[in-house]
Structure 1
Amino acid sequence: MGTAASTAPRSFSEAPLSLVTASSDGQVRLLDLAADGAPTPIASLPGLTATASDSRFVALTGPNGTLSLADSGVWTWDHGDHQHYYRAAARDLGAVGMSGTAGVASTNARTVIASGTTATVLDRQALGQGRQSALTTATIDAGSFAAPQGERTVLVSGGQAGIIDDAGRAVGQGVACPAASGGALTRAGIVLGCQGGAVVAPEPSSSATAEPPSLEWVPLPDEAAGTKIVSLSNRARRSQVAALDESGGAWLLSVRDRSWTRVTFGAPVVAVSAMDDTHKRVVGIDAEGRVRVWADGAEATVTEPIANPGLAAASGLRVTPKRVYAPGADGASVLEIDAADSARVARTIPAAGLVSFEVVGA
């Protein structure tokens, strides 16, 4: 029997980056990306169809849309100006009483799971101890993102982006967000994807009772007016966010500057993410499975077809400070790609029957 000391989180000097893979046999496995060991099973959900993560907790969608949660046991405690890194035992947290494809977003205190037309706010500290403690639930627009901000929740409901308290009361003024789809949590604020642009909820004062920030509408440039944003993706908490639009076009949103830049790939893409490095790299996968890297305002690299575009469209890409993770063309591996080195494949990680994957610990 383990002791409290043996199960207590261990601290690290660097982020304990790990890969979670979900396979067609329902097995969910965790691989330490800095070690040479084999992946460790952390959950099982036969018929699993999708995953989502906040970089620690992983939502698993089952064959009938039922949702379960797993704790990867690796995370970064973000203090803004510095971070602490931890690893603890991974565990299966069981069903969450929701259904559908999910989105997961967390602060140090709260985790929000958005699925279908419901957002559930959970106590993150309790979740880390293996207990699901719901603080509140809210109705949202199908497909929209929701995220915690202090002791409030940013979401889209009835075509309006807004901020609510735990009693469901609106706090501050809402902003129109038609056809909401996707979002991102960054240190500069929360981003909600909409038709024609995005709504930004700027990072507020640290005081829970402070006046909420004013939501801001950031429209796409005139050339793309009315274009629907399909998904948003960024490196964990970073304020450069990549957007995929309905025609396969890519955009880069600077959350701090409230400005969009068109990412001029040579072909439409099915998945995209932003690395937020000094070259403002954005990485995409096109319909043929080519990896495309955009840097310093131009397309810098195009590979041969090495990725699986179907899996990339379904699961997206994951980025860390130095690597991009994409599903391999064989549908049975995850590629670790060095985007700064002509999109060189640094490692091929076996993942038989791959359905989806997440990078956790960032």
Structure 2
Amino acid sequence: MTTTRKDPVRSRVALFTLAAVLTIALSSCAGGPSAAPVSADTAGGDGHGAITGAEEVAEPQLGLTWIDPDGTVTHLDLLDESLTELGETAPPTGMSTDGRYLFADTGAGLEIVDSGVWTWDHVDHFHYYRAAPHLLGSVTGDGSTHVATSNLSTSGGTGISFAGSGDAVLLDTEALSKGEVTERFRIEREPHDGLVVPVGSFALVTEAVDGVGATVVGYSADGTEMGLVEPCADPAGTVTTRVGAVIGCRDGALLAHVADEELQVERIPYPEGATAPAARSFDNREGRPTVAGLAGSEGIWLLDTRNRSWKLLPSPAPLVHVTAVDDDDDHLLALTQDGRVLVLSGGDGSILAQTEPLVADSLAAGASPTLIADQHRAYLSAPTERRLYEIDYADAARIARTFDTATQPAFVAETGR
């Protein structure tokens, strides 16, 4: 395989199945590339994301893991460009991820895929792990789902809201890391398009009136109601930052975190006099404090969770998605309706760089390209074109690598982060 990082040359990859996961030199976070493997019993003795059978490695094991329309799961290792077919799920209608697990919505529940690669964020440093990928199992439920995760894939909870039945489920994420699908609680609610948002050892669960979300209610991990109730008209969109978990409401957002072992919820209203539509979803570089969401067709909402403040930027073109990189230059990334990726200024929304239309055929066909930002690169899926792009957004939106795929990358996650 030939890959260029200077010019937009396509790196064509033939799909195949590896007999085993490649062995990589291992180290602890303090050791160099030649350091010995660290066992789950000794790595970060206070629970730095290690599990039995996993190997701690010297660098993040970044990959792109996707599910095609028929349910075939494929993993592309971004370090050596090898591909592994991980198995099959039922044909999905949607997918969510926390950077390790893929939660495939099948319309009759969720099927969970463990990519086998993850990062433990210890604020001032990171731990990187690799284990055998596999299909974990399923969670039954009726109707479309919304999945909310934390930034840690070996502790806390994973929230699932089933729109058809109204069931609110909190999974034990530590059990997931050990290959077990365990429900901490399952609460019956009025059916609605709702949320179950994990916050430390707690969870916020939306409740509906006449089929529309109206409040969020605090629960302990065992499903005990805590007496915390916050108004939140028409809740939509959630994301977890280092500051806390965000839930979008019609009049602003709720920011939840744990302080002194208690669940705390703050309200961050939209600026006084704002008339732009509320954000219906949020996206960012994982863990960063600033998140972004579209204000309908009128602009881009930026929420700084550290400063508890909103900013409305103009849209430089009709957009379908936006995400906050929240780097030193306050970059934003956006996908336009004609298939271009824009690099935007977080100060005024101006265009700093852009690509040619990369996913025009996918958007015209009604497919949903995925745009992902990490610290160094952006990744864009092109389902109809059967292609994946790696974009260096800090270098004039240069196409660093292109991967052609034998199947449609319909639902894509960047894993290992």
User: Does the 8 Å CA contact 1:234/1:319 hold for their aligned counterparts?
Assistant: yes
Return closer, same or farther for 1:244/1:146 CA change in 2, 3 Å cut-off: farther
User: Does the 8 Å CA contact 1:270/1:312 hold for their aligned counterparts?
Assistant: no
| Alignment match of 2:315 (pick from 246, 265, 272) | 265
Q: Which amino acid aligns with 2:57?
A: F
Question: Is residue 163 from structure 1 mapped to residue 215 from structure 2 by the alignment?
Answer: no
SS in 1 for 2:175: helix
Q: 1:333 Cα shift?
A: 1.2
Matched with 1:175 is 230
Return closer, same or farther for 1:341/1:317 CA change in 2, 3 Å cut-off: same
Question: Is residue 247 from structure 1 mapped to residue 294 from structure 2 by the alignment?
Answer: no
Question: Is residue 186 from structure 1 mapped to residue 238 from structure 2 by the alignment?
Answer: no
Return closer, same or farther for 1:14/1:31 CA change in 2, 3 Å cut-off: same
Return closer, same or farther for 1:173/1:46 CA change in 2, 3 Å cut-off: closer
- C-alpha distance in 2, partners of 1:310/1:176? 39
| Alignment match of 1:60 (pick from 84, 88, 104) | 104
4+ residue stretches of structure 1 with deviation over 6 A? 310-313
Deviates more, 1:293-302 or 1:167-176: 167-176
Q: Which amino acid aligns with 2:123?
A: G
Q: Which amino acid aligns with 2:101?
A: F
| Alignment match of 2:251 (pick from 173, 185, 196) | 196
Q: Which amino acid aligns with 1:306?
A: L
Matched with 1:323 is 377
CA RMSD of aligned residues (A): 2.6
Question: Is residue 34 from structure 1 mapped to residue 34 from structure 2 by the alignment?
Answer: no
SS in 2 for 1:171: strand
- C-alpha distance in 2, partners of 1:161/1:28? 35
Matched with 1:101 is 145
- C-alpha distance in 2, partners of 1:68/1:119? 16
User: Does the 8 Å CA contact 2:184/2:222 hold for their aligned counterparts?
Assistant: no
Q: Which amino acid aligns with 2:128?
A: Y
| Alignment match of 1:126 (pick from 162, 175, 188) | 175
Return closer, same or farther for 1:275/1:218 CA change in 2, 3 Å cut-off: same
Over the matched positions of the two proteins, sequence identity in percent amounts to 32
Unaligned runs of 5+ in 2: 1-19, 21-38, 41-51, 209-213
Equivalences, count:
352
Q: Which amino acid aligns with 1:109?
A: S
User: Does the 8 Å CA contact 1:59/1:102 hold for their aligned counterparts?
Assistant: no
- C-alpha distance in 2, partners of 1:248/1:23? 33
| Alignment match of 1:135 (pick from 177, 181, 184) | 184
Which string of whole-angstrom CA distances, capped at 9 and with x for unpartnered residues, describes residues 42-80 of structure 1?
A: 231242222110111110122x44311111111112223
Matched with 2:125 is 82
User: Does the 8 Å CA contact 2:238/2:248 hold for their aligned counterparts?
Assistant: yes
Q: When the two structures are superposed, what TM-score results if normalisation uses the length of structure 1?
A: 0.88
Between Structure 1 and Structure 2, which shows a larger proportion of strand residues? 1
Which string of whole-angstrom CA distances, capped at 9 and with x for unpartnered residues, describes residues 176-225 of structure 1?
A: 21111111011100000122321111x323x5xx3321x22212234534
Q: 1:92 Cα shift?
A: 0.4
Q: 1:313 Cα shift?
A: 7.7
- C-alpha distance in 2, partners of 1:323/1:337? 6
Matched with 2:347 is 297
Q: Which amino acid aligns with 1:289?
A: G
User: Does the 8 Å CA contact 1:179/1:195 hold for their aligned counterparts?
Assistant: yes
Unaligned runs of 5+ in 1: none
- C-alpha distance in 2, partners of 1:342/1:312? 28
Q: Which amino acid aligns with 2:53?
A: A
Return closer, same or farther for 1:315/1:270 CA change in 2, 3 Å cut-off: same
User: Does the 8 Å CA contact 1:265/1:294 hold for their aligned counterparts?
Assistant: no
User: Does the 8 Å CA contact 1:29/1:40 hold for their aligned counterparts?
Assistant: yes
Deviates more, 1:331-340 or 1:101-110: 101-110
- C-alpha distance in 2, partners of 1:316/1:329? 9
| Alignment match of 2:414 (pick from 355, 359, 362) | 359
- C-alpha distance in 2, partners of 1:143/1:349? 36
Q: Which amino acid aligns with 2:196?
A: A
Matched with 2:396 is 342
Q: 1:329 Cα shift?
A: 7.5
Question: Is residue 44 from structure 1 mapped to residue 88 from structure 2 by the alignment?
Answer: yes
